Amino acid sequence: MHPIDTVDNLNDLPRLSQSDDYLRYGRQMILDGFGLEGQIKLQNSSVVVIGAGGLGCPALQYLAAAGVGRLGIIDHDTVELSNLQRQILHSDKTIGNPKAVSAAQAIAALNPRVKIDVHPTALDPSNALSILAPYDVILDCTDNAPTRYLLSDSAVRLKKPLVSGAAQKYDGQLCIYNLGEDGPCYRCIFPKPPAPEMTGSCEETGILGAVTGIIGNLQALEAIKLITGLHDGKASLLLFNALSIPPFRTVKLRSRKLTCAACGIEGQKIGTVEETDYVAFCGGARPNWLERVFASNENHAIIDVRPRTEFGICRLPKSTSVPLNILLANPALHLPSDKSCQIFVVCRLGNDSQIAADAIRAIDSNLIVKDVVGGLRAWSNEIDPTFPVY
């Protein structure tokens, strides 16, 4: 006889919180290996999502729909019109609102049974451990290196799995760090951060919205597998490209690195999370200033290193289009003949222009080369509000 048939009191059987939960979650509860036990595990679990953007929105949506009992949302940013192409929990009506609040409202409408913790604040070394500690699983849905290292070090310290996603252009990747006793952390795989000029956000490089949806949904799936015991416990890196056939490939990851500065047991270790300056570790904050190109009548030339397509959208008067890859191939070919001419290099957000300016300076240290920090976005914000922003 099946053990359930011998129970004398039905009140002794495990149950979901509300009677209609059986109907709400029934389609996943009838799955082999999931069942009522899996749903109760979700009901009693907690997940914190850092970043309510392109990755965080789909992840939060499916975690809430699946019945995770408690969700934490951490994001200090506000909703902008440019977010709506991929950040599916936000809408025109929530533009200007904190993303964490906007996402929480959407989730509450989707599944009012979920308890939601809203943290409309920036995660930093002073608050990371205290905010993350109450949750079972951490989801990294951010887009910058300092926060990735902060989250990885915090996950190691708290002994929690970190489900990390990334998406850019047509590409995405997914990995669970600090998985089990032997899973590598982020520092094991990337002990040194990339140079600041080699990194870029979706705002800088572009992103196909559906790509963030795919990776964010996969992050939710991995979290659900971890909570319900369906995960095989093996660390791997999943790579996705929307234009490749097939679009997915998996790379098996090595075990935890013994000499890792964060999770290893040998060699020199980093300081505590609270004592680590993650921004400085990743190359420091970029300066926030804009050269006033037209502030004087001095002789100058403006080189726009954006792709031709973007140059066709909008441009500064009298600027010359020299895409970055073309300029880097032969910088001297594109310089003004007048050596006394000040050269201003501009791009969309101020990252490619840094690379181009350094390449020009390398030709002749006597040239006056100025990088328009913040790019055309800063130009629109600080000098000409009518200049198009895209």
Contacts of 281 (CB under 8 A, 6+ apart): 146, 149, 193
Measure the CA–CA gap between 178 and 162, rounded to whole angstroms. Answer: 6
Q: Cα separation of 119 and 121, whole Å?
A: 5
Rounded distance between C-alpha atoms, residue 242 and residue 110, angstroms: 29
- State how far the Cα of 92 lies from the Cα of 77, in Å rounded to an integer: 16
Among 141, 175, 188, 202, the one annotated catalytic = 202
Distance CA 200, CA 347 (A): 13
Q: Looking at the DSSP assignment, which residues form a beta bridge with residue 319?
A: 302
**282 part of the active site:** no
DSSP string for residues in 117-155: EEE-S---TTTHHHHHTT-SEEEE----HHHHHHHHHHH
Q: Which residues contact 35 (CB under 8 A, 6 or more apart)?
A: 29
Region for 370 from its dihedrals, namely left if φ exceeds 0, alpha if ψ lies in -120 to 50, beta otherwise: beta
**Maximum CA extent, the chain:** 95
* CB neighbours of residue 235 within 10 Å: 21
141 among known catalytic residues:
no
What's the CA gap between 141 and 74, in Å, rounded? 10
Residues with catalytic annotation?
202, 347
